[in-house]
């Protein structure tokens, strides 16, 4: 099983600042990596797929990068609506696995 490890667990950021979230895979997942955003009481929403392709509806301040085992989600200038939990997921191999999540909170 591919283990996905996200860091940090909690990221405290002021509105307008940059946020950098990391996701590491225990073995290569190529570029088969997705990021999901989950707000309190809501279902997850697809944010990034293929490691770097933004899903419909998300603004350009969200960007994904990486391949193999190291991935990064960057939010260039945090807005109030971006405070949420972010999960990475690999879909290179079975079983599909998620990271434990990074909570982005207001500083």
Partner 1 sequence: QVQLVESGGGVVQPGRSLRLSCAASGFAFSAYAMHWVRQAPGKGLQWVATISSDGNKGYYPDSVKGQFSISRDNSKNTLSLQMSSLRAEDTAVYYCAKGQYYDGSGHFDYWGQGTLVTVST
Binding site for partner 1 (CB under 8 A): 1, 34, 36, 42-46, 49-50, 55, 87, 89, 91, 94-101
Cβ proximity to partner 1, 42 vs 80, nearer residue:
42
Using alpha carbons, select from 95, 97, 84 the residue that is nearest to residue 47: 84
Minimum CB separation of residue 83 from partner 1 in Å reads 17
Residue with smaller CB distance to partner 1, 44 or 66: 44
Distance CA 102, CA 47 (A): 14
Cα R_g (the chain), whole angstroms:
13
At closest approach, how far in Å is the CB of 43 from partner 1?
A: 4
Task: State the Cα–Cα distance between residues 18 and 47, nearest whole angstrom.
Answer: 17
Name the residue with tokens 């190291």: 70
Minimum CB separation of residue 80 from partner 1 in Å reads: 23
């Amino acid at each position: 099983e591919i283990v996905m490890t996200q860091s940090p667990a909690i990221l405290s950021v002021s509105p307008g600042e940059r946020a950098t979230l990391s996701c590491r895979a225990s073995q290569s997942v190529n570029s088969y990596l997705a990021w999901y955003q989950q707000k309190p009481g809501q279902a997850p929403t697809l944010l990034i797929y293929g490691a770097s392709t933004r899903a419909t509806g998300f603004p350009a301040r969200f960007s994904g990068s990486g391949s193999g085992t190291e991935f990064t989600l960057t939010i260039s200038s945090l807005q109030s609506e971006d405070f949420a939990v972010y999960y990475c997921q690999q879909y290179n191999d079975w079983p599909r696995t998620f990271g434990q999540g990074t909570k982005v909170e207001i500083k």
